Chains A and B, each alone.
Chain A
């Protein structure tokens, strides 16, 4: 069964903290893993894509890692800002091309 679990489901932190969002998946035959951001009432914005042969990707204050053997990915956000408040979704691409999503971590960064 293809499943993605994201922990925690919700997170509230003061501005400036470094934080880690966790994603675990059961399928070992993934092609890539993608992290998205979803703002309330909005679409999904792609943040980072990690190919199955890669171990991490970085974009600005974001760093995502991938460990296929343990079925885990983490999204590290450095020096969090109120503008980072959103729901963060993890999804992996299977050999059929579809994305299998977790249910997201809702992040609130307080000023």
Chain B
């Protein structure tokens, strides 16, 4: 039974298109995240939500917009895709938010986005 699941696993699309990546966690966690892993395998946070409220918004282009309909879901919508958006996007969740002890993070399997 998958704890953090993302769809799709692979996404190939043309420049200029709009696409969404979905994420769901069945761990009952309060906090969800989006991370980006670039071509050099470096992972960096993009967004974090706690109980549907945005708490972290790193320096990410406005074309990226997260949406959290409930605390078990955090979707990532990307407008006007660019070649440089090609990367692996990981969703993650943790029980607690910033400043608390139980912040062990669990990750999804990733979505490999290729913009052509």
- In contact, A97 and B99 (Cβ under 8 angstroms): yes
Interface flag for B98 (CB, 8 Å) = yes
Q: Which of A42, A44, A97, A103 contacts B97 (CB 8 A)?
A: A97
The listed residue with most B CB atoms (<10 A of its CB), out of A42, A87, A95, A97, is A97
Indicate the size class of the contact surface on chain B.
20 to 34
Residue of B with least CB distance to A89: B43
- In contact, A104 and B41 (Cβ under 8 angstroms): yes
A89 cross-chain contacts in B, Cβ below 8 A: 43
B99 cross-chain contacts in A, Cβ below 8 A: 31, 95, 97
- A97 touching B101 in the complex, CB below 8 Å, given contacts A43-B108, A44-B107: no
Interface size counted on chain A using CB atoms at 8 A: 25
Q: Which of A32, A45, A87, A99 contacts B101 (CB 8 A)?
A: A32
Q: Which of B4, B44, B112 contacts A101 (CB 8 A)?
A: B44
Q: Is the contact region of chain A dominated by helix, strand, or loop, or is it mixed?
A: strand
- A46 touching B106 in the complex, CB below 8 Å, given contacts A89-B43, A97-B31, A97-B56: yes
CB-based closest 6 A-B pairs: A97-B98, A43-B109, A44-B107, A101-B43, A98-B45, A49-B104
Pick 9 A–B contacts, CB within 8 A, sort by A. A43-B108, A43-B110, A46-B104, A51-B101, A94-B98, A97-B31, A97-B97, A97-B98, A98-B48
A interface with B by C-beta (< 8 Å) = 31-32, 34, 36, 41-46, 49, 51, 87, 89, 91, 93-99, 101, 103-104
